[in-house]
Amino acid sequence: MAHSAFTYIDGVLHAEQVSAVSLAEEFGTPLYVYSRAALTDAYEAYARACAGRRASVHVAVKANGNLAVLNVFARLGAGFDIVSGGELARVLAAGGKAENVVFSGVGKSADEMRQALEAGVKCFNVESIAELDRLDAVAGALGKKAPVSLRVNPDVDPKTHPYISTGLKANKFGVAFDDARDAYRRAAAMPHLEVVGIDCHIGSQITEIAPYLDAVDRLLALVEQIEADGTRIHHVDVGGGLGITYDDETPPDTGLFVRTLLDHIDARGHGHRSVFFEPGRSVTGNAGILLTRVEFLKPGEEKNFAIVDAAMNDLARPAMYQAFHAIDAVVPRNEAPSVYDVVGPVCESGDWLGRERALAVRPGDLLAIRSAGAYGFVMSSNYNTRPRAAEVIVDGDKAYVARPRETVESLFATETLLPD
């Protein structure tokens, strides 16, 4: 279970031992707040379940790329899963080791491949024949051999939102299951590639174990065919995607999830292989909140609106996925609530953060948008020339600025006017 880091103490929401009111006063709003204890507990739930097994944890940088957050995981011994050269640079800057990095992603450029080969990443998760060809050529030009696994699309329904389902035939990701055996033959024949593993990732915010077991069964059957063709498979990468509780979801306990998959792989006779897990949302999601202040209350004939200073550019998930985030008053009022749509100041009808929420609020009150540690700041933008939020990490009774708030001037500091 994630650390219960955001709780009420004497009627005020706290992040660990620090009042959210004091955080908003010191650092302003909108403000992303992360809990070091929650990050640590969520990661260690994976690490404990992997201990003593041939298994390792590679945190998905795309969920939260803040250097201080990544550094918390690096200090705990985490590996990382990246999807760009920029994310590799972040991992290295945060103290991560290249040899514990797996490089996923459907569109790696030649420059990114060179960067990763020179850094010495653990493995490339390759997603197409065309990518195999490019990686072989790039590795050859550098006089290196690239370690590869193929991301195989097992065509398993993860029962999640279509935008974050990635393992079906209709998705852009991975090599089609029926094409995978031939793709492995081709990879094994390329002079500058070394086949080391097999990979899948069926989606995100998955709250059942069964789809993973289905995917693993298909992968292991394929592994047996690949090895019959003469190519050794050293590791099985089961991806990430384990869900969290945003509202009323009941995802499996992390330790149970990890042990169930490892035991299943052992029972199938594949316990000699290493297993990689790539958690993202499940180690960062409930370790963060977004603090925002109410600017106006706007009653209407059909809806009442609570207009806040955070917006879709700060937290894109509601507009993008119709995602639910719990929204709570930082200092609850002892008054009858009204029903509000919580919306931001961005000039779009899609700029909403929560719909039909019962809140007792007044202008100036602080709200906490829960479960904002994953796909929160990392997806934020400067739309409407809005500076991105500050990020802070709370550790016990202290708060540290992980990223200062942007200034408006910095947003166009590199832009130029046309000459006269």
Query: Among 254, 252, 315, 293, which Cα is nearest to 64's?
Result: 315
pTM for the structure as a whole: 0.95
- Determine whether 349 is exposed, middle or buried from the number of CB atoms within 10 Å of its CB (0-12, 13-18, 19+): exposed
Residue 418 within a domain: no
| Residue 278 assigned to a binding site | yes
| Residue 279 assigned to a binding site | yes
Query: Residue with structure tokens 């590199």?
Result: 414
Q: Which residues contact 287 (CB under 8 A, 6 or more apart)?
A: 2, 3, 5, 34, 35, 38, 39, 42, 373
Out of 238, 261, 283, pick the residue that ends a domain: 283
Q: Say what percent of the chain tops pLDDT 90.
A: 92
Residue 136 within a domain: yes
Is the same domain home to 317 and 342? yes
Residue 419 within a domain: no
Read off the DSSP letter of residue 304: -
Is the same domain home to 255 and 375? no
Extract the tokens encoding 112.
Answer: 């990114």
Extract the tokens encoding 211.
Answer: 């789809």
- Alpha-carbon 271 to chain mean position: 28
The answer to whether 104 touches 83, Cβ cutoff 8 Å, is: yes
Residue 237 within a domain: yes
**CATH (domain of 320):** 2.40.37.10
Residue 140 within a domain: yes
| Residue 280 assigned to a binding site | yes
Residue 158 within a domain: yes
DSSP for 124-184, written as a single string = EEE-SHHHHHHHHHHHHHHT--EEEEEEEE------S-GGGB-SSTTSSSSEEHHHHHHHH
| Residue 43 assigned to a binding site | no
**Interatomic CA distance for residues 238 and 215, integer angstroms:** 8
Query: Which residue(s) pair with 308 in the sheet?
Result: 294
DSSP for 32-77, written as a single string = EEEEHHHHHHHHHHHHHHHTTSSEEEEEEGGG---HHHHHHHHHTT
Is the same domain home to 270 and 398? no
Q: Domain span at residue 172?
A: 36-283
Is the same domain home to 254 and 195? yes
The secondary element (H helix, E strand) that includes residue 321 is: helix 317-321
| Residue 28 assigned to a binding site | no
Residue pLDDT, tens place only, 248-291: 999 999 999 999 999 999 999 999 999 999 999 999 999 999 99
Residue pLDDT, tens place only, 9-35: 999 999 999 999 999 999 999 999 999
| Residue 348 assigned to a binding site | yes
Domains in the chain, number: 2
**CATH (domain of 164):** 3.20.20.10
**Interatomic CA distance for residues 307 and 330, integer angstroms:** 16
Residue pLDDT, tens place only, 40-70: 999 999 999 999 999 999 999 999 999 999 9
Is the same domain home to 171 and 294? no
Catalytic residue list: 347
Pairing mode, if any, of strands 390-395 and 398-403?
A: antiparallel
Is the same domain home to 261 and 322? no
Is the same domain home to 300 and 199? no
**Interatomic CA distance for residues 69 and 403, integer angstroms:** 11
Residue 351 within a domain: yes
**Interatomic CA distance for residues 34 and 69, integer angstroms:** 8
Is the same domain home to 66 and 207? yes
pLDDT averaged over consecutive 10-residue blocks of the chain (420 residues)? 79 98 98 98 98 98 98 98 98 98 96 98 96 98 98 77 48 85 97 97 90 94 97 97 94 97 98 97 98 97 96 97 97 97 96 98 98 98 98 98 98 97
